Structure 1
Amino acid sequence: MKNLTFSFFILFLLGSHSNAIEIDYCVGDPSLPRGPQGYGCKDSSTLTVDDFIFTGFRGKKSITNIFQNNITTATVIEYPALNGQGISMARLDFGVGGVIPVHSHRTSEIIVVVKGTIIAGFIDTNNTAYYKTLEVGDVMIFPQSMLHFQVNVGRTVATAYVSLNGANPAVQLTPPSLFAGNLPAELASQITLLSRKEVMRMKRLFGTA
């Protein structure tokens, strides 16, 4: 009986740790309900090679926002073929002096610079900042959920590509979270130790005051 129980235990462990899949892919169908594992699958009989291609990174990007950047995302929302694949990408374009402000994801991120010079870094839970000037071809990892940022410190526009280990990594930009939403100025002042005057200046920058 003991041997039989042990055998069932081993089978359970093997089954619970299996990475086997029953289908090759599941191109997301945004018209179907979305659950914790992503979208339901598009009918495989209707798929073509174009369902697996994303062309959104092509061409020159317009840089007009307050941070002087342009972020082109290729998550499952824009690129349904990523559904269930555990990966996504983004193209980052920086104007001169442009930044990707402090932000976080629910995933890890890796960046490679393809044009220009940037400073990239992250801040860990001990409040230690790890940052360095990156040149073309340099790569840096930002651990999962850590606050991180990028700044163009060159004299020309800069471009980088990032990959994240989630099909829908989400992003929370710290400045807009504090000053572009519905958080009252009084509370924003209290939790940031900024004066109400400075908080209102920030809210005006984001058009919420």
Structure 2
Amino acid sequence: MASSHILFVGLMMITCSIALASDSSPLQDFCVADSKGPVLVNGFACKDAKLVQASDFFFSGLHLVGNTSNAVGSRVTPVTVGQLPGLNTLGISMARIDFAPWGINPPHTHPRATEILTVIQGSIQVGFVTSNPENRLINKVLQKGDVFVFPEGLVHFQRNVGHGNAIAIVGLSSQNPGVITVANAVFGAKPDIPNDLLAKAFQVEVNVVDQIQSKF
């Protein structure tokens, strides 16, 4: 009986620790990322605090319009720990997304972050898909000043549904949220995922998969 109780408590502790998992909380005022540091950790080692400058906490560029002349008609300007070293250990980042008319930010996931989006200009359709087995699409058209949240890890997208350019600012709950663009990952993997496997998964002919893979 005692052993069963200990096992139950142990399982509860593991469950709680998983539920609370996120970017590590800082144990000091700041830990500016030292990208050239010799130490490899889950994140970045800290720069010597005596050498930290205001520039380590500063980024300039979100006022600039992103170049949307590409196949999807959008451009993401990220501000993660890679661009702003002072974000290290703080568990946040952000980005600007520019959209050409009817441009899209294709279906993708952030494996380490929840995303919150604010429309700055234009009309943007947003949506995410719930996990199996429901795979329910939850979507809405947003206007200037509207806010929408995408839960961590779920496939989501944005699309400009207006006739002019659109702009959104997003916040993310990780210093390095990561991006997995679904089409790129599935059809652009190197080496290729076997085309017969993808044909069976998508219930199409192999030549259809070959055609799609050729675009990536």
Same fold (TM over 0.5): yes
Q: What does residue 110 of structure 1 align with?
A: 116
Aligned 1:64-79 pairs, distance under 5 A: 64-79=69-84
Aligned 1:164-203 pairs, distance under 5 A: 164-181=172-189, 182-203=192-213
Q: What does residue 4 of structure 1 align with?
A: none
Q: What is the aligned-residue identity percentage?
A: 34
The residue type equivalent to 1:113 in the other structure is: V
Asked if 1 retains the 8 angstrom alpha-carbon contact of 2:73 and 2:100, the reply is yes
Q: What does residue 12 of structure 1 align with?
A: none
- Residues 147 and 69 of structure 1: CA distance in aligned 2, closer, same or farther (over 3 Å): same
TM-score (norm 2): 0.82
The residue type equivalent to 2:173 in the other structure is: N
Q: Aligned with 2:98: secondary structure?
A: strand
Q: How far apart in 2 are the matches of 1:68 and 1:198? A: 24
The residue type equivalent to 2:117 in the other structure is: I
Asked if 1 retains the 8 angstrom alpha-carbon contact of 2:124 and 2:159, the reply is yes
Deviation at 1:58, TM superposition (A): 2.8
Q: What does residue 86 of structure 1 align with?
A: 91
Q: 1:47 aligns with which of 43, 49, 52?
A: 52
Deviation at 1:47, TM superposition (A): 1.5
Deviation at 1:21, TM superposition (A): 5.3
The answer as to 2:32 corresponding to 1:24 is no
- Residues 114 and 124 of structure 1: CA distance in aligned 2, closer, same or farther (over 3 Å): same
Q: How far apart in 2 are the matches of 1:146 and 1:195? A: 28
**Alignment gaps of 5+ in structure 1:** 1-15
Q: What does residue 67 of structure 2 align with?
A: 62
- Residues 75 and 20 of structure 1: CA distance in aligned 2, closer, same or farther (over 3 Å): closer
Q: How far apart in 2 are the matches of 1:21 and 1:121? A: 32
The answer as to 2:153 corresponding to 1:145 is yes
> CA deviation digits over 1:106-163, x for unaligned, max 9?
2111000001111001111221111000001000011111111101110011110111
The residue type equivalent to 1:66 in the other structure is: A
Q: What does residue 11 of structure 2 align with?
A: none
Q: How far apart in 2 are the matches of 1:21 and 1:141? A: 25
Q: What does residue 6 of structure 1 align with?
A: none
Q: How far apart in 2 are the matches of 1:91 and 1:20? A: 25
Deviation at 1:44, TM superposition (A): 1.5
Q: What is the number of equivalent residue pairs in this alignment?
A: 190
**Alignment gaps of 5+ in structure 2:** 1-16
